[in-house]
Amino acid sequence: MSICESIGLIKSRLPKGVRLVAVSKYKSVETIHEAWACGQRIFGENKVQELATKAGLLPEDIEWHFIGHLQTNKVRQLVPHVSLIQSVDSFRLLQEINKEALRIGKVVKCLLQFHIAEEETKFGLSLSEAELIFSLDEFHKLQNISIFGVMGMATFTDDEAQIRKEFSHLQTIFTDLKARYFGNSEDFKELSMGMTDDYLIALEYGATLVRIGTAIFGSR
């Protein structure tokens, strides 16, 4: 299947209002341009340098989402190019993003990444860590970031019941945070979950953004 056909097939399976993030990490500028030419506009990258380089070489109407682990010392390089940082996992990082966004006069959209998988290796906050962040006065003073929702990755497993449990957990976190902290926010609306092997399941639990690489571009 061509890139265009793959994108078309995936999009035909997404309910109205759900958006596709084409995960283009390790893929060439030419390959990404091919997906752009078939109408794809949101791309996800997990390395700051790679995102910045590609953003400089590809059309301006692309929305770049950062989906990898972010270090504070890379924030300055990322902020000018990024339209959504999906992987915020500490208050320190929010402060740094806010500082750089303020410096260049931008409001940066962020998702909080939650640790929902069994694997220790995956990054992300727990619910109590997020509650701690929201309890800080300093958090509410950050004017140049906006929290758009949450992101998570399920365990890499064939056990569908396990995956369902984890997506259901993230959906609960999303609903709970929205009710308790973001009732007045129009921004807090994104539930980013689901990849090549599990996005159809994620849709059942209310995903609004799915992040798909392999099913579009082939294996890496």
Tell me: does residue 212 bind ligand PLP (CB under 6 A). yes
Q: Hey, CA dihedral for 189, 191, 192, 194, is it positive or negative?
A: negative
Per-residue binding string, ligand PLP, 35-54, x by CB under 6 A, is -----------x--------
Tell me: does residue 115 bind ligand PLP (CB under 6 A). no
Tell me: does residue 195 bind ligand PLP (CB under 6 A). yes
* Helix or strand (DSSP H, E) at 5: helix 3-13
Report phi then psi at 9, rounded to 5.
-65, -45
Tell me: does residue 65 bind ligand PLP (CB under 6 A). no
Stretch of residues binding ligand PLP (CB under 6 A), selected from 58-66, 104-112, 171-179, 212-220? 212-220
For 193, what's the count of Cα atoms within 13 Å in the CB-facing half-sphere? 35
Least distance between ligand PLP and beta carbon 165 (Å):
19
Tell me: does residue 95 bind ligand PLP (CB under 6 A). no
CB of 25 or CB of 178, closer to ligand PLP: 25
**Separation of alpha carbons 220 and 136, rounded Å:** 41
Stretch of residues binding ligand PLP (CB under 6 A), selected from 55-63, 129-137, 183-191, 211-219? 211-219
Tell me the helices (H) and strands (E) count for the chain, helix number first.
10, 8
Give helix 160-181 / helix 127-135 axis angle, nearest 10°: 10
- Are the C-beta atoms of residues 120 and 157 closer than 8 Å to each other? no
Tell me: does residue 23 bind ligand PLP (CB under 6 A). yes
Residues that bind ligand PLP (CB under 6 A): 23, 25, 46, 67, 153, 195-196, 211-215
